[in-house]
């Protein structure tokens, strides 16, 4: 579990707490901005700017929630505004992007947060099963392609991935439901 930093902590802790907050969330927030804007430099600028705003307004702001939630919301709004302002995409896409952020900031899972969970859960999967799963999920290979590459039958690949999913289901609980539906991998 990551540490939680509040506005009160920031007011009290000064530069040192600011640095901790920055190190804790910067990469995740840039990747989060990347969901909306394809330009890494623009994303980094937006995130840096939001951190500076928080610092300047720390005595004036009134935020009771952990700063992580505030930051996620601020990045989201800035990105959506930027897209509308720059007329980067069609209205349909903007609509989709809004749906993509339909959950509250607290519910939104950032890169390192799920990354850690997924990585930890995969660590409990036997290597041959894990290999097949990663080829399918991360390298986007089809079952037949994986079977050909590993020199095993397609049925073996399916059973290895099935075993992986069974283990992940226990480890990831709430996330898995979506993962399974989403991946479209047949469950048996």
Partner 1 sequence: MNERIARAAARYFAGEATPEDMAMLTAWLEENTENAREFAGMADIEFAVRPPFDPEGIDTDAALGRTISVMHKEERKSRRVRFIRILEHAAAVLFLPLALLSAYLLSDKMEQDESATAWQTVTTPFRTNTCLELPDGSKVWLNGGSTIRYPLSFGKDGRSVSLTGEAYFEVESDKSHPFIVQTRNVKVTATGTAFNVDAFRNDDIVSVTMVRGVVDIDMKGKTLRMSPGDRVSFNQRVNTYSITRSDPEKWCAWRNGRIIFENDRLDYVFHRLGQLYNVEFTVCDPSVDKYVYHAVFTDETLPEILDMLSISAPIRYEITKSDSPDPAAPKQHIRVYGK
DSSP 109-135: PPHHHHHHHHHHHHTTS-HHHHHHHHH
Cα separations (Å) of 157 from 140, 161, 167, 169?
14, 6, 16, 18
Q: 98 vs 153, which CB is nearer to partner 1?
A: 98
Give the shortest CB-151-to-partner 1 separation in angstroms: 26
Contacts with partner 1 by CB under 8 A lie at: 15-16, 18-19, 22-23, 26-27, 30-32, 34-35, 38, 40, 43-44, 47-48, 51-52, 55-56, 92, 95-96, 99-103, 107-111, 113-115, 118, 137-138, 140, 175, 178-179, 181-184
Q: b/e per residue, 118-131, with b = 16+ CB within 10 A? A: beebbeebeeebbb
CB of 157 to partner 1, least distance (A): 19
Nearer to partner 1, 124 or 153 (CB): 124
Residue 7 or 18: which CB sits closer to partner 1?
18
């Amino acid at each position: 579990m990551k540490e939680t930093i509040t506005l009160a902590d920031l007011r009290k802790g000064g530069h040192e707490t600011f640095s901790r907050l920055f190190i804790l969330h910067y990469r995740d927030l840039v990747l989060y901005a990347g969901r909306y804007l394809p330009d890494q430099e623009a994303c980094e600028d937006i995130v840096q700017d939001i951190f500076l705003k928080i610092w300047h307004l720390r005595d004036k702001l009134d935020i009771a929630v952990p700063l992580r939630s505030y930051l996620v919301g601020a990045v989201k709004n800035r990105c959506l505004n930027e897209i509308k302002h720059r007329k980067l995409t069609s209205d349909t896409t903007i609509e989709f992007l809004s749906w993509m952020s339909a959950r509250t900031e607290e519910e939104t899972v950032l890169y390192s947060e799920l990354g850690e969970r997924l990585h930890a859960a995969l660590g409990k999967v036997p290597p041959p099963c894990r290999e097949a799963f990663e080829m399918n999920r991360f390298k986007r290979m089809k079952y037949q392609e994986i079977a050909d590459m590993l020199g095993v039958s397609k049925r073996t690949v399916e059973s290895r991935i099935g075993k992986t999913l069974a283990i992940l289901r226990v480890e990831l609980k709430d996330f898995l439901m979506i993962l399974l539906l989403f991946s479209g991998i047949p469950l048996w």
